A and B are shown apart, each in its own frame.
Chain A
Amino acid sequence: AQKITQTQPGMFVQEKEAVTLDCTYDTSDPSYGLFWYKQPSSGEMIFLIYQGSYDQQNATEGRYSLNFQKARKSANLVISASQLGDSAMYFCAMAPRNQGGKLIFGQGTELSVKP
C-alpha cells in the first residue's frame, strides 16, 4: 500500500531554533516525488519543497531543507531559524509515478513557534 506517515501530531520550537518534522513513506514504485506543504491557520496550502526519488542531493529552499534518506524511506523537513510565522500545519505528500503523479498526503504535524 502507498502511504505517508507523520508521527508527530504537534510540535513546539523556540523562535530562532531549528526544527525537524518527520515523514516516512511506503511505496513499491521506484520513481516518485516527495513534497512538503504548509497550511497556516488561514487555511491555504502553500508548496514548500520538492525531492525526487532519483535526486542525489537533498533539496533546499531558503530556510527549508529536506533530509532525504531513501533506504529508510524518510523525507524529513528541516526548518532553520524558526520564525513566529512558521506556526502552521505541515503536510508531507508523495506522488508515485505509477499513480500518475497524484498526491498522497500524510495527516500533518502542527508546529507552534514560541517567542
Chain B
Amino acid sequence: NAGVTQTPKFQVLKTGQSMTLQCAQDMNHNSMYWYRQDPGMGLRLIYYSASEGTTDKGEVPNGYNVSRLNKREFSLRLESAAPSQTSVYFCASSYSLYSNQPQHFGDGTRLSIL
C-alpha cells in the first residue's frame, strides 16, 4: 500500500535555484496539502487543494507555488530557493476538507538550501 508518495526524499540546493517537489496519492482522496516542519516545531501549512482544480494559500505560502496536476498529484515549487526554506516538507491527503477527516502523510522531503 503506497499511500502518499513524495519525491525526492533528500535534496540540496544552492540559493537561487529552483526545484519542484512531487507528491502522489493512491487513496482516491480529494484534498491534498503541503506542510513544512522546522526544527522543534510542529507542521505549518504552506498550500492546500480542496479538490482537483483548486488551490489555496495556507499559513506560510510566500516563496512557493503549487499545482494540482490531477486528482492524484500535487506538486510544490520553489522558484528561487532561499536558506530560510531549509526544512522538511510533508505532503498529505484526506478524503475531504471536513474537520473529521484524518490527513495521511508522506514520508517527507528533507531540503537543504546552501
Residues of A whose CB lies within 8 Å of any CB of B are 4, 31-33, 35, 37, 42-47, 50, 52, 91, 93, 95-97, 99-103, 105-108
Contacts and interface: CB of A to CB of B under 8 A. Distances in A.
Main secondary structure of the interface of B (DSSP, over half): loop
Nearest to B104: A47
Given A105-B42, A105-B44, A45 B105 contact: yes
Interface of B: 31, 33, 40-45, 48, 50, 58, 88, 90, 92, 94, 96-108, 110
A95 B99 contact: yes
A113 to B, nearest CB: 21
Contacts of A102: 33, 45, 48, 58, 97
Nearest to A31: B99
Most buried by A among B92, B96, B98, B104: B98
16 contacts: A33-B99, A35-B103, A44-B105, A44-B106, A44-B108, A45-B43, A45-B90, A45-B105, A47-B104, A91-B42, A93-B43, A97-B99, A99-B99, A101-B100, A103-B103, A107-B42
Nearest to B45: A102
